[in-house]
């Protein structure tokens, strides 16, 4: 899906990650892997509809379908890995995880790895692109239909939401973040304290009184030197090893309950470099080790 972004191409992300040998690599880790294919995405309308919520109708439908798919995977006792695709899809994937655990009277944590805050609302977004709004809607803010995917209201508690790798925020997002109560580790904290410290703090916060952590990783969190194949690259991001260490520490914590790997855009990629990184990060999150 690339309906939530201003730049086309992220819809090719899932196949690009598959071509980066994802399934064979996971099977070499002795994991049982089932590729369920792609969620059907409605055709891109000729007009975006509301300027404040561009392409809302098809995005809503796609996210509702993805929510159902993720929920079904949880019901089977398996761990869903969602490939994207623009980050708007996380409104569906996280909702599916939250719905499953909510029915068991349990909460989930969310670690959101991204260069951007993604916490704009229709009222504050300068672009109307929905891939800049999923965190807000998962917190129960914004549009009533988008924040009711799976069930009405917030899917995560603000105290269990942690943003990592942030380095590009609109003024309105800064205000929204301060008012939201979520935990934010910008690149300043990564630079100052190191990824090991940031990852440990993020895992502790997201896992506090929760049944598990849904990790949603936007490849633009990584520096363009290692992940240039994305729609909104931003200098000064996570290094190759910082990205892997975060995923390795999530795996070590044994708290992971679902994973998104999103915003891979093969039209912007060189030699499938970014898709390869995405595949490798998924492997690290699911248990691959150097030694």
d(CA 269, CA 230): 7
- Choosing from 74, 87, 137, 244, the catalytic residue is 87
244 tagged catalytic: no
Contact (Cβ atoms closer than 8 angstroms) between residue 106 and residue 210:
yes
220 tagged catalytic: yes
- Choosing from 2, 69, 86, 114, the catalytic residue is 114
131 tagged catalytic: yes
260 tagged catalytic: no
- Choosing from 2, 118, 223, 248, the catalytic residue is 118
- Choosing from 220, 223, 260, 280, the catalytic residue is 220
- Choosing from 69, 74, 116, 244, the catalytic residue is 116
d(CA 259, CA 229): 20
Distances (CA, A) of 273 to 85, 170, 287: 16, 29, 21
87 tagged catalytic: yes
Rounded (to 5) percent helix, strand, coil in the chain: 45, 10, 45
- Choosing from 2, 69, 86, 131, the catalytic residue is 131
Q: In what order do the strands lie in the sheet with 256-262?
A: 81-83, 256-262, 213-218, 109-113, 161-166, 183-186
- Choosing from 2, 69, 86, 218, the catalytic residue is 218
d(CA 283, CA 290): 11
Distances (CA, A) of 39 to 63, 110, 132, 222, 285: 9, 22, 21, 26, 23
40 tagged catalytic: no
Distances (CA, A) of 121 to 125, 178, 233: 6, 14, 22
> Which stretch of DSSP H or E encloses residue 260?
strand 256-262
- The residues annotated with a catalytic role in the active site are 87, 114, 116, 118, 131, 218, 220, 263
């Amino acid at each position: 899906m690339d309906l939530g972004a201003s730049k086309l191409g992220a819809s090719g992300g899932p196949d690009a990650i598959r071509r980066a040998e994802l399934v064979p690599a996971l099977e070499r880790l002795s994991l049982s892997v089932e590729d369920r294919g792609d969620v059907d995405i409605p055709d891109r309308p000729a007009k975006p509809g509301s300027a404040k919520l561009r392409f809302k109708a098809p995005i809503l439908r796609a996210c509702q379908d993805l929510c159902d798919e993720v929920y079904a995977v949880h019901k089977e006792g398996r761990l869903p890995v969602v490939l994207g695709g623009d980050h708007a899809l996380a409104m569906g994937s996280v909702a599916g995880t939250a719905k499953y655990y909510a029915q068991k009277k349990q909460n989930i944590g969310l670690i959101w790895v991204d260069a951007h805050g993604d916490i704009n609302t229709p009222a504050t977004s300068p672009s109307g692109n929905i891939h800049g709004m999923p965190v807000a809607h998962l917190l129960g803010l914004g549009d009533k239909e988008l924040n009711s995917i799976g069930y009405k209201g917030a899917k995560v508690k603000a105290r269990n939401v942690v943003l990592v790798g942030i380095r590009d925020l609109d003024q309105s997002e800064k205000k929204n973040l301060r008012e939201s109560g979520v935990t934010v580790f910008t690149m300043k904290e990564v630079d100052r304290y190191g990824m090991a410290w940031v990852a440990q703090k993020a895992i502790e916060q997201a896992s506090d009184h929760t049944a598990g952590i849904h990790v949603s990783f936007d490849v633009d969190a990584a520096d363009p030197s290692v992940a240039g194949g994305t729609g909104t690259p931003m200098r000064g991001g996570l290094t190759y090893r910082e990205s892997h260490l975060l995923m390795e520490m999530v795996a070590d914590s044994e708290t992971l309950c679902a994973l998104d790997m999103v915003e891979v855009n093969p039209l912007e990629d060189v030699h499938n470099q970014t898709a390869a990184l995405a595949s490798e990060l998924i492997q690290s999150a699911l248990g691959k080790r150097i030694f």
